[in-house]
Amino acid sequence: MDNQFDNNAESLINKDIFDEYNFNNDKNKKKKKSRNILVLFVMILFLALIYFNILPTNFSTSSASQENDTPQYKVTKEDLPSILPIEFSLISNYYNISVLDPDIIGKKISISLRLISSIQNQEKAFFYYYNKLDGQWIRLSEAVISNDKDIQIATAKINNLPDNILVISAPERIRELSVDFCPACDISSVPKVDNSSIFMATPNISGVDGTVVLKNLYPNKDFSELNFDYGLIANDKRASEIINFILEDSNRIDNHIQNIILEATKYGAKGIHINYQNLKNENRDAFSLFLSRLSDAKEKANFTNLIVSIPTYHNFNEGPFNWKNIASSVNKIWVHTSDEESKHYEELDILMDNLHNIEMNNASLHLVIDSISKERSINGIESISILDALKIATQFDILISTDAVIPNSPITLKAKNLNSLNEAPNNIYWDSKSKSVTYRYKLNNSERTIWFHNSFSLRFQLHYANKYNFKGVVFNTNQLDDHTNNYWTILTKYLSTTEVELVSPYDDYVKLNWTTSGGNFENNDGKNTTWRSPKEPGVYKIQLNVSDGEHFLLTESLINVVSAKSIAIFIDQIMNSLPKITLMLKEENAEIKQVNIEMNVANVDKKVDIINELKVVHYRPMPSGPPGPAGN
């Protein structure tokens, strides 16, 4: 093995260290094989000619060798351009690469580097390069390690030669994954998790003596097959008052800890998770004391974990959570941002500044990733399914000024809820502050806001988890939307590489889209349009399509265009969001008839057998069209 590559500050790459590029297709392999045979034949012929004195022995081969020895690239050994993540151990030198032969650009490269250190225990070797544009270390490939005498060599095949390269030793999964487990959710597709927590109980007052007990939230469910942390939650007014009552007395704290240990042991849990919210500021020291004592009891009972959930929106210096003291007692802190999506990233920025000021590292911090869409109203913030959020946006009114729709007549169409607010923004749009698709509307004279959580918002949450070097992420399983199973592809890549591709929805996908089976639209501004009926009588479809950039839903209405002497039959809008839907059919000189239709909401691709087998809702995965770059 030629070691000049690693001993000199600058040297040409040679085959011993960086193998020549090769093409991974049969055609090129056949060409290369044929070329090698031809070269061998020429060399044999050439030696034979010399042997028989047909050519002079001083015949020069410099031109041929010069062509074969022409370097394709060179490397320069340099210092690291940026600090490596804490999980990485550098096991090779760092090299800048300059391409000398443009012919190799875009070709697959088989590349080797000599190691200067050994791989850490239970870790693997990976080729990485530094992306100078966004300041990120990017994984190229896992390395195959071989030995040449006393030298270890890392080898891999990569698609393109980068500007720089090194080899690091790191865990196969760089970030940890925990799951806030919903017992009613299907987690069969969830990748291997480091921790799963189930909120099993909440504090309660029992009996006339005011004894504090733990109320089981799932009394009839068997958790014996699960490897989980026993979770206690207190986030409503009554439960939080009970916790504040406990924290006011040292004996009550000890009794509460004994109850927790007994219950966690009974269920065979591997650890304990505390999620106590709405604590009084004056209980700041008492809560830290409670966790310290619980940590000691956890060790004696041989539990693995002690996890505590802390929100970001409390006053950092005077609120009920002393972050540094808590970190010294627990194994992990699960960081919860506010349900107010517009404050999510602002709160994270403030928290990280505060932690930096108290010189607290992030080794125990895990960011809770929210996968459930939210709706804000005067009653607070609640979860909402993506299907229901789209349904609200697709409702529209048909304004008919006459008793019948005749050919070539204008009909006004208005998106009902998206027209309920006069002030902008009053449409579906990508919100750069919450980094999600959102819209506002008014119901019962009060304003509401809906934020969609989908793969676009997930990517930004993961990006911030990596930006602030959280040890891991916590994914809250979503019982409202089955499509979250698709998130695991993005999440798995992040856990192993910390790479996240930031994209926002393609603009055209989040615009309202009116379609019709006949006639045409005039003055279409998205929320409102005028439909000009066709010249021929008949039943025509009008649809309003709405999307969050990934999922599409439409509301469809039928309008019967009749000759001027007839009376139109209007079939009202049909939505499949409810198990039963009532259609009002109005006929001339006839009583109103009601038709009840059973619909399977889970299978939205079924056609409803009403007038031309009308498909009411169209729900499909992420479109094949190009998403726009983040921020566009």
DSSP assignments along 322-388, one per residue? -HHHHHTT-SEEEEE--S-GGGHHHHHHHHHHHHHHTT--STTEEEEEP-S-EEEETTEEEE--HHH
Q: What percent of the chain has pLDDT over 70?
A: 72
pLDDT at 251 over 90: yes
Is 340 among the domain residues?
yes
What DSSP string runs through 215-231?
EES-TT---TT---EEE
Q: How many structural domains comprise the chain?
A: 2
Over residues 142-170, the pLDDT tens digits come to 899 988 878 889 998 888 888 899 999 98
* pLDDT score, position 484: 66
Whether 444 is in a domain gets the answer no
- Residue 329 confidence (pLDDT): 95
Question: 357 and 224, same structural domain?
Answer: yes
Question: Averaged over 548-555, what is the pLDDT?
Answer: 88
3-state helix, strand, coil in the chain (%, to 5): 25, 30, 45
How high is the mean pLDDT of the chain? 77
The rounded distance, in Å, linking the Cα atoms of 227 and 224 is 8
- For residues 158 and 200, state if they share a domain: no
pLDDT tens for 440-498 read 999 988 999 999 999 999 999 999 998 888 999 998 876 666 666 678 888 888 888 88
Evaluate the omega torsion of the peptide bond into residue 621 and state whether it is cis, within 30 degrees of 0: no
CATH assignment of the domain containing 38: 2.60.220
pLDDT at site 82:
87
Measured CA to CA, the distance from residue 406 to residue 566 in angstroms comes to: 8
How large is the average pLDDT for residues 499-511? 85
- The number of beta carbons lying within 10 Å of the beta carbon of residue 250 is 12
Contact between 327 and 360 (Cβ < 8 Å): yes
Average pLDDT, integer, range 504-533: 86
Listed in order, strand segments (DSSP E) in 102-259 are: 109-114, 124-131, 136-142, 144-148, 151-158, 164-170, 176-180, 195-206, 211-216, 229-234
> In the structure, what pLDDT confidence band is assigned to residue 92 with cuts at 50, 70 and 90?
very high
Same domain, 160 and 187: no
- CATH number of the domain to which 488 belongs: 3.20.20.80
Do 240 and 181 share a structural domain?
A: yes
| Count of CB atoms situated within 10 Å of the CB of 287 | 24
End-to-end CA distance of the chain: 50
Q: What is the DSSP string of 270-294?
A: SEEEEEE-S--GGGHHHHHHHHHHH
Last residue of a domain, which of 145, 170, 195?
170
Check residues 379 and 592 and name the one with the higher pLDDT: 379
Residue 532 half-sphere exposure toward CB, CA atoms < 13 A: 7
pLDDT greater than 70 at residue 224 = no
- Top mean pLDDT of 53-62, 168-177, 183-192 is at 168-177
Residue 291 lies in a domain: yes
Question: Best-predicted range by mean pLDDT among 47-51, 214-218, 626-630?
Answer: 214-218
- Please name the residues in contact with 335: beta carbons below 8 A apart, sequence gap of 6 or more: 310, 312, 351, 365, 366, 367, 368, 470
Domain boundary among 122, 154, 170: 170
Q: 183 and 221, same structural domain?
A: yes
Mean pLDDT of all residues in 167-182: 84
Q: How far apart are CA 358 and CA 285, in angstroms?
A: 17
Place 189 in a pLDDT band, splitting at 50, 70 and 90: low
Contact 178, 474 (CB under 8 A): yes
pLDDT band of residue 34 (cuts 50, 70, 90) is low
Type of residue at 56: P
- Is residue 198 assigned to a domain? yes
- 211/97 same-domain check: no
State the burial class of residue 316 (Cβ atoms within 10 Å of its Cβ: 0-12, 13-18, 19+): middle
56 and 166 belong to one structural domain: yes
pLDDT attached to residue 8: 43
Q: Does residue 459 form part of some domain? A: yes
Do 325 and 288 contact (CB within 8 A), yes or no? yes
- CA dist 356 and 71 (Å) reads 48
Q: Is the pLDDT of residue 578 over 90?
A: no
Q: Which of 42-46, 354-358, 388-392, 458-462 has the lowest mean pLDDT?
A: 42-46
Please give the average per-residue pLDDT across 338-367, as a whole number. Answer: 90
Asked whether residue 609 is assigned to any structural domain, the reply reads no
pLDDT band at 569 (very low <50, low <70, confident <90, very high): very low
Please, are residues 466 and 500 in contact by the beta-carbon 8 Å criterion? yes
Higher pLDDT, residue 55 or 359? 359
Residue 290 reports pLDDT greater than 90:
yes
Tokens 């001993």 map to which residue? 7
313 lies in some domain: yes
pLDDT at 627: 46
**Which one is predicted more confidently, 21 or 371?**
371
Same domain, residue pair 146 and 206: no
Of the residues 461, 492, 523, the one at which a domain ends: 492
Percent of the chain with pLDDT over 90: 34
240, pLDDT greater than 90: yes
Q: DSSP code of 320?
A: S
Residue that wins the pLDDT comparison between 478 and 263: 263
With a cut of 80, say whether residue 71 has pLDDT above it: no
Cβ-in-10-Å burial (0-12, 13-18, 19+) of 150 comes to exposed
According to the model, what pLDDT value does residue 285 have?
96
Same domain, 9 and 141: yes
Q: Which of 13-22, 292-301, 489-498 has the highest mean pLDDT?
A: 292-301
Distance from C-alpha of 375 to C-alpha of 432, rounded to nearest angstrom: 18
pLDDT at 211 over 50: yes
- Examine the pLDDT at 503 and tell me if it is beyond 80: yes
- Residue 624 token pair: 């094949």
Instruction: Identify whether 371 is part of a domain.
Output: yes
Length of the chain: 632
Q: Using the predicted structure, report yes or no on whether residue 181 has a pLDDT greater than 60.
A: yes
> What average pLDDT does the segment 349-377 reach?
90
Residue type, 418: L
157 shares its domain with 186 = no
For residue 500, what are the contacts with CB-CB under 8 A and spacing of at least 6? 459, 462, 463, 466, 490, 494
**Is residue 120 pLDDT above 90, yes or no?**
no
pLDDT at 631: 40
Return the pLDDT at 190: 65
Higher pLDDT, 368 or 54: 368
DSSP code of residue 135: T
Same domain, yes or no, for 209 and 351?
Answer: yes
Query: What residue numbers bound the domain in which 245 lies?
Result: 177-384+451-492
**pTM for the predicted model, two decimal places:** 0.73
pLDDT at 296: 96
Give burial (CB, 10 Å; 0-12/13-18/19+) of 364: buried
State the average pLDDT over residues 398-406: 78
What's residue 531's pLDDT?
Answer: 92
Same domain for 82 and 48: yes
The residue to which tokens 């340099």 are assigned: 78
Residue 343 clears pLDDT 50, i.e. is over it: yes
pLDDT at 49: 55
- Whether 137 and 130 have beta carbons less than 8 Å apart is answered as yes
**Which of 23-37, 318-332, 470-484 is modeled with the greatest confidence?**
318-332
Angle at 305 between CA 304 and CA 307, to 5 degrees: 175
Candidates 247, 309, 236, 242; CA nearest to 275 is 309
Burial 600-628 (b: 16+ CB within 10 A, else e): eeeebeeebebeeeebbbebeebbeeebb
